[in-house]
Amino acid sequence: MNITKEQIDDLNAVVKVAISKDDYQDKVDTILKDYRKQANIPGFRKGQVPMGLIKKQYGKAVLVDEVNKLLQDNLNKYLTEEKLDVLGNPLPKQQDNFDWDKDDFDFEFDLGLAPSFEVPLKTKKPITHYKITADKKMVDEQIDRIRKQYGKLVQKTEVGKKDEVTGTFTSEADEINNKATLELDKIGSKKAMNALLGKKVGDVVSLNTKGLLKEDYLLSSTLGIPAEKAKDLKIDVDFTIEEINEREPAALDQELFDKLFGPDTIKSEKELKERIKEDSEKQFEQQSEQKLLNDVTEYFIENTKFDLPTDFLTRWIQMTGEKPLTAEEASEEFEKSEKGLRYQLIEGKIIKDNNVQIQFEELKEFAKGFIKSQMAQFGQLNPAEEELDTIAARVLGNEDEVKRLSEQLMSQKLLALYKEKANLKVKEVTYDNFVKEVYG
């Protein structure tokens, strides 16, 4: 067997594979002899069928199968040994006059080669790394929510501005009949607020659903209807008042502090505010770091210039998809996937150049940390190390889970690399300002 490569340009090459009869004949003969031993053909005893008949019946199929196996195995071996960085898979070139009755065969394959480029991590333009802070307003609002959550309900005779009113929403025409609690500080309609104030248990109030609540997404659960039906809904519904309560906020005392964080962990209002600020900013870190990762990714895609073997990749998409594609459809698919492909190449280059690796023990510890955080959500705060090891072993026995966790860990490692080497500009912002800047 002889394999040679013809370089067309920096991004395209043709591999030629010459297979002679000596490369495959022994294997073909062995398989045909095994067929002869097992063949059951009327008129012949088992194992006594003439070899000529076996060759006539099975010879061509066995030949084609063995030549294709030789091709695949040796082509892959060649690409590995020659360290050819290919995109997609080799595409066989069409040969109109190919003859399987010959003894020697010549095959040609088109290759799409990965481009050569550099990725300087020290970005020319500074990339903003947001540090999201919890300001006084946010901390105070969180304390108000906590006090309200742990406070007690006091029955009222009339509806006031800060009350919670429980009742049933009905509309026969729109098939609405749902019991819900309205918190008046979440009412978005001034007309609805005025209609509710001063009302008593047993009163029926007509409310329009348009703008009824400050947060539109709450309307669905309040009326007991699907979200798609609640969207842009503008009808009048009756609300029959059944209960009126005022929520008396809990006192900021040791009893509340212990409920929130355990005995004697927090001992003053000042410490409570500091803890809420610290916890809030930890939660914001994930959003901040995801934003940084996205921005660095976009920067590299926009500023790392290289060509791709576009024609080859378009043909590869056309020939290897789940269903046949026209040239135009394949071209559209390439355009959709080009950005992702470019980043895969860039990321691979960064990982290789900076020797970013994932060791099994690292992955195991990462998995255990993930499992521990999941268990904490269900109240299991201090699982035994042996239990974590057992669960982690089960998780890492699942190929899909290994891939998912590896990708997450690699993202963390890349983020740490960018923080160390990229040109970052730290900007402190409140959460509200972060949302305005990032999401408009």
**Cα–Cα–Cα angle for 330, 331, 337, nearest 5°?**
90
Confidence (pLDDT) at 39 = 81
Confidence (pLDDT) at 48 = 79
CA atoms within 13 A on the CB side of 72: 6
> In the 8-state DSSP scheme, what is residue 93?
P
Confidence (pLDDT) at 381 = 66
Confidence (pLDDT) at 200 = 96
Confidence (pLDDT) at 378 = 75
Q: DSSP alpha helices (H): ranges in 237-268?
A: 254-261
Confidence (pLDDT) at 218 = 93
Lookup result for tokens 């705060």: 381
Region for 83 from its dihedrals, namely left if φ exceeds 0, alpha if ψ lies in -120 to 50, beta otherwise: left
Confidence (pLDDT) at 49 = 82
Instruction: Give the Cα separation of 107 and 19 in Å (integer).
Output: 8
Token readout for 360 is 């099994």
Pairing relationship of beta strands 12-19 and 2-9 according to DSSP bridges: antiparallel
- Per-residue pLDDT tens listing for the chain (440 residues): 899 999 999 999 999 999 999 999 999 999 999 888 888 777 787 777 888 888 888 899 999 999 999 999 999 999 999 999 999 999 999 888 889 989 999 999 999 999 999 999 998 889 999 999 999 999 999 999 999 889 999 999 999 998 999 999 999 999 999 999 999 999 999 999 999 999 999 999 999 999 999 998 999 999 999 999 999 899 999 999 999 999 999 999 999 999 988 899 999 999 999 999 999 999 899 899 999 999 999 999 999 999 999 999 999 999 887 888 899 999 999 999 999 999 999 999 999 999 999 999 999 999 999 898 888 777 676 788 899 999 999 999 999 999 999 999 999 999 999 999 999 999 999 999 999 998 87
> In the 8-state DSSP scheme, what is residue 242?
E
pTM passes above 0.85: no
Region for 187 from its dihedrals, namely left if φ exceeds 0, alpha if ψ lies in -120 to 50, beta otherwise: beta
Confidence (pLDDT) at 19 = 94
Token readout for 189 is 């309609």
Domains and CATH numbers, the chain: 2-113 (3.30.70.1050), 116-150+256-300+356-440 (no CATH), 152-248 (3.10.50.30)
**What is the three-state SS of 15-55?**
EEEEECHHHHHHHHHHHHHHHHHHCCCCCCCCCCCCHHHHH
